[in-house]
Amino acid sequence: MNAGIAYALGAYLLWGLLPLYLRLLGAIATPEILANRILWSLVTMVILLVGLRRLAWIRPALAQPRMLVRFAVTASLISFNWVLYIWAVNAGHTVDASLGYFMNPLVNVVIGAFFFREKLRTAQKLALLIAAVGVAWLTWLAGSPPWIGLALALSFSLYGLLRKTAPLGALEGFTVETALLAPLALAYVIWLGQQGRLGFATAPVNLQLLLVLAGPATTAPLLLYAAGVRRIPFSLSGVLQYLAPTLQWLIGIYVFHEVFDPHKAAGFGLIWVALVVYAAESAWFAWQRPASAPQPDSTTS
């Protein structure tokens, strides 16, 4: 449990600072940034697996079509999440993107109840109701739902769900995902080169190096998250996630100087109240639980 919390916190800290890195890549088109993230992530994973001598799983994995289909779904979800987030940051919607990760813990609660039959307590239901009012206010204010935040929250929660129940570990699973996406990414990069539109080829050396670093920058938090989410309750991963959207929100307002007027703040405020209610109730429940239920042996995992 302690290791899982540490892994998850590390992931959320890196994700919270990610907008600063992505803004440095603003001269490159969003699809090309995505392609670089996929390709350099695969290179990073291959180096890690070879160095750790963890290759024996590959042949058995290739013999399980159902598992490959599952990872094709998770690969699709994470690539959609990536491309939307990259676009949002470089299009001046970092604050809107942070909303998705503020809502993510509450989406995790709903998914936990639906898929893992985790019973919703009264305070959790109240938190979901308050958050729904906040989303409704933002929808009325903008004339349309906050689709960036909703899409990011749903895609990442579903990704977390499928990775939590996946048969492979963090390293192996992410390698399969990037390997499944790599042919499409490589084909796109080759097409860009043939069209004379490959940003990497004409970029200065410092920008090329930043694109290469997309592999480690993408791999590190995802591996930490995948390792963490397998070791802690699904709902707890949502509580720890508050760090990432808070950093993103602060960066959007104070570094990128995005608009955050009082009307928008009211909608965010309702969602923050919902998160406070949920976090406080979760902390109280965790504090009460040892007195009412026996705890598992801490020496086993």
Q: Are 43 and 215 in contact (CB under 8 A)?
A: yes
Please tell me which residue, 62 or 229, carries the higher pLDDT value. 62
Kindly report the average pLDDT of the chain as a whole number.
86
Q: What is the pLDDT of residue 238?
A: 59
255-264 — which CB contacts under 8 Å span 24+ positions? 255/19, 255/20, 256/19, 256/23, 256/92, 256/94, 258/92, 258/93, 258/94, 258/95, 259/95, 260/95, 263/141, 264/95, 264/138, 264/141
Most confident of 24-28, 99-103, 117-121, 292-296: 24-28
Q: What is the pLDDT of residue 297?
A: 38
Model confidence band, residue 162 (pLDDT cutoffs 50, 70, 90): confident
pLDDT over 90 (residue 171): no
Q: What is the pLDDT of residues 115-148, one digit of tens each?
A: 777 778 888 889 889 988 988 888 887 777 889 9
Q: What is the pLDDT of residue 87?
A: 96
Kindly report the pTM of this predicted structure: 0.84
Q: What is the pLDDT of residue 105?
A: 77
pLDDT over 50 (residue 298): no
Q: What is the pLDDT of residues 63-103, one digit of tens each?
A: 888 899 999 999 999 999 999 999 999 999 999 999 888 88
pLDDT over 80 (residue 293): no
Q: What is the pLDDT of residues 227-252, one digit of tens each?
A: 787 787 766 665 677 788 889 999 99
Q: Mean pLDDT over residues 216-226, rounded?
A: 84
Residue 169 and residue 225: Cα distance in Å, rounded?
Answer: 11
